[in-house]
Amino acid sequence: MEVKLASSYGFCFGVKRAIDIAQKYENSATMGPLIHNKNEIDRLQNDYKVGLYRDLNEVKPNDTVIIRTHGIPKQDLKDLRAKDAKVINATCPFVTTPQQIVKKMSQEGYSILIFGDSEHPEVKGVKSYGEDLEDVHVILEKSELDNLNFKHDKIATVAQTTRKKEIYLDIVNSLILKNKEVRVFNTICDATFENQDAARDLSKEVDVMIIIGGKNSSNTKQLHTISLENCSDSYLIENETELDSSWFDNKKLCGITAGASTPDWIIQQVVDKIKKY
């Protein structure tokens, strides 16, 4: 089987940075999973003794606590500091930006609209920076705009870093027609789109497409969706053990891409195995 890698794939800047930070603090632990990739988290645990807190109550004074790439809610950060833990912040700077925008704009009297998944840790963290949580609204679809009651007639919007720009634009267009003032901040991260554009191009020219990444990672799932648009034989796997040889029957060229949290060593294992089919 011939294999072709996407022109852009895998780790983004924020994830590389978080892993570098974690590797510097052996015997530390992270607040929530550091990144959305179980294999890499296991490697950090085995090689660097980086543990994982399930709950804030597990943190003891003088513990070294690493904040994950997606950030944590403001109150959790305060509670950690109050416990006299040593807090190391590995939040991606592109996630810190919307947190700070939400804080500043709500202090200036704007209602806040976040385009994103209200259950995602990044969005929960960003939302927590609003001054009045009842006036921080989270939506995934334009149609949800009709159900919102903004307290102010000026609105500031940010987007979850991994969302699609086209949908954000659509929401913002609709918003400006119904409100006097809308401040739009483009907080979508380009790293995701470089991988997405490359996956789109590659999926048009291959017979089968393999997307490697965490099954709970939203940017990996989006790579899968995009690939499926052009290549119906597109499969999402976490590592090489999930490959099924029947996917490659009568196929010549296999395209490979990987989510922003997928380490190179996992990608290499997948490539090596596919080449043998």
Q: Which of 172, 260, 266, 270 binds ligand F3S (CB under 6 A)?
A: 260
Question: Is position 15 an interface residue for ligand F3S (rule: CB under 6 A)?
Answer: yes
Q: What is the dihedral of CA 47, 52, 57, 62, to 10 degrees?
A: 30
Tell the burial category of 269 from Cβ atoms under 10 Å away from its Cβ (0-12, 13-18, 19+): middle
**CB of 123 vs ligand F3S, minimal distance in Å:** 12
Question: Is position 102 an interface residue for ligand F3S (rule: CB under 6 A)?
Answer: no
162 annotated to bind ligand: no
Find tokens 């259950």 and name the residue. Answer: 119
67 vs 182, which CB is nearer to ligand F3S?
Answer: 67
Question: Is position 37 an interface residue for ligand F3S (rule: CB under 6 A)?
Answer: no
How far does the chain reach from its first CA to its final CA, in angstroms? 6
Q: Is 122 a residue of the active site?
A: yes
119 vs 249, which CB is nearer to ligand F3S?
Answer: 119
Catalytic position from the list 2, 58, 119, 122: 122
Question: Is position 209 an interface residue for ligand F3S (rule: CB under 6 A)?
Answer: no
CB within 8 Å of 67: residues ≥ 6 apart: 30, 31, 77, 87, 88, 89, 90, 91
Structure tokens at 143: 């149609």
Torsion angles phi and psi, residue 133, rounded to 5: -65, -25
Q: Which of 6, 10, 12, 21 binds ligand F3S (CB under 6 A)?
A: 12
CB within 8 Å of 184: residues ≥ 6 apart: 156, 157, 172
Question: Is position 191 an interface residue for ligand F3S (rule: CB under 6 A)?
Answer: yes
Size of the site for ligand F3S (CB under 6 A): 13
Q: What is the dihedral of CA 42, 124, 186, 67, to 10 degrees?
A: -40
Known binding residues = 12, 36, 70, 92, 120, 161, 189, 217-219, 261
Q: Which residues participate in catalysis according to the annotation?
A: 122
Interacting residues with ligand F3S (CB under 6 A): 12-15, 69, 92, 94-95, 161, 189, 191-192, 260
